[in-house]
Amino acid sequence: MTVFLKREEILSAPVLAPETHVRRGFIWRVSLIAGLGGILYGYDMGVIAAALIFVRQTFMLSTRMEEVVVSVVLIGAMSGALAGGAITDRIGRRATLLWGGAIFLCGSLLAFASPDVIMLIVARFLLGVAVGFTSVTAPVYVSELAPPRSRGTLIGLYQFALTIGIALADLVGYWLANQHAWRLMFGIGALPAALFIVLLLTLPESPRWLFAQNRLAQAEAVLGTYTDAEGARLLIADIHAALEIKMERRWSALWSPAVRMSLFIAAGFLILQQVTGINAILYYGPQIFSLAGIASNKNAIFATLLVAITNVLATIIALVLVDRLGRKPLLYAGVGGMTASLLMLAYSFHNQATFGAAPGVVATVCLMVYITCFAFSMGPIAWILVSEVFPLQVRGRGVALASLASGAANFVVSLTFLSLIKAAGNSSTFIIYAGFCILTLLFVRFVIPETKGRELESISTEANAVAR
């Protein structure tokens, strides 16, 4: 425990990066285009909530096969994250995002044309690979271009875009529910994928990655597109200082004393993000509302859409406050609210008679409070922290391994949710998720550093000093 406290004291010390002039229009354009990858992520993860109802009817799926159709995308995401971590360090951030966009496009079209459940599972796996590529690369790409004082907001746009993608998926699902048009629900994902590819072609490579590859002239040219001469000089000095630290660019470096605490923070927090139940609610929202007494499929999808819209709106709170209040205050407030709402949801399932004819209303309110608290805390801050804590030399691999841990936890939650409901009951299931929220509060208190306003190189350099 002492090691954690010393690390937190050092990383939260008030050694802020100097202000530099940046062309904010360029940075916002990069962040918004990279964030389109978040829309793809959210859409392809969220569309299954509505589509599954009709896929189940079309292919006469058992409960276990339903869970496979939902969770296979996470196997793809883990594979994509593992491959994407090495690929993004080898060929660059922008090129990896382009590959991710192409795989999104192929997976969406294949899901649309699937003649049977096996082909749909293959398509969902490909979509997962694309999710892995973009979830590893997009936050890193933005973090390496963003100025320190607004880095949290700009990386948070990725999570904001992800929530928009989920909301769009639920909206499309609600719109097409009467037609039972699950194929079109999947196929519509090809449109933002094509747009993503086209827009990425207008962006440059990350200057930090170019410096790491000794492509100095290209890196300086990119810096010149969004900062002044003094700002470029300061950034170049910081990057050179970070690169002077000798470190192997291999997977094994992640277990070295210089990096392993960063890996523990990133992977641990992303695992906790999943086991607190967020994706069980996003993937199985209509089923949860059906359990709460909402009989109509369309009404259950509509209730899920309300939760998704709340997710979008609440993420704006994080975008406004994360670089003002810091990461940890938002986490305390958000995870505390998640705990309370899950306990209330568990109580409502356990005592449905208490609420008369309105258990569905109570469930909707509880889930909207839960998603609000998640959206301004764990949702965006997880991706912010993960892209901040690793040294430049292994940043891609570090984010990849943390994302792999997240995908594994997500896979376990999504594969077991319906079975857990059957085995333990509705109330006990949500009490378990509330218990993980309490564990998350302890992790935030004793492990998570405050990184608000700090230059990336100073965070990783001081982390190395602590590890030694």
Q: Does residue 21 have a pLDDT over 80?
A: no
Parent domain of 273: 2-13+23-467
Confidence of residue 113 (pLDDT cuts 50, 70, 90): very high
| Closest C-alpha to 82, from 385, 406, 467, 433 | 406
What is the three-class DSSP state of 20? coil
18 domain-assigned: no
User: What integer pLDDT is reported at residue 251 of this predicted model?
Assistant: 76
Please state, in angstroms and rounded to a whole number, the distance separating the CA atoms of residues 87 and 44.
22
Q: Is the pLDDT of residue 75 over 80?
A: yes
- 48 part of a folded domain: yes
Lowest mean pLDDT among 93-97, 258-262, 324-328, 352-356: 352-356
- Looking at the chain, the whole-number percentage of residues with pLDDT higher than 90 is 28
Report how far Cα 448 is from the mean position of its chain's Cα atoms. Answer: 17
For 264-294, what is each residue's pLDDT tens digit? Answer: 999 999 999 999 988 787 767 767 777 666 6
> 217, exposed or middle or buried, with CB in 10 Å at 0-12, 13-18, 19+?
exposed
What percent of the chain lies above the pLDDT cut of 70? 85
Provide DSSP, 89-115.
HHH-HHHHHHHHHHHHHHHHHHHHT-S
What the block records as the tokens of 100 is 């991710």
Dihedral of CA atoms 120, 123, 129, 135 in degrees, nearest 10, equals: -80
* Structural contact between residues 91 and 84, judged by C-beta atoms closer than 8 angstroms: no
| Residue 329 belongs to domain with CATH number | 1.20.1250.20
How far is the C-alpha of 353 from the C-alpha of 245, rounded, in Å? 63
Let me know if residue 189 belongs to a domain. Answer: yes
Please tell me the pTM assigned to this model: 0.73
Q: Are 327 and 443 in contact (CB under 8 A)?
A: no
| Domains held by the chain: number | 1
Q: Compare 62 and 359 and report the one with higher pLDDT.
A: 62
pLDDT tens per residue, range 294-337: 667 777 777 777 878 888 899 999 888 988 898 999 999 999 99
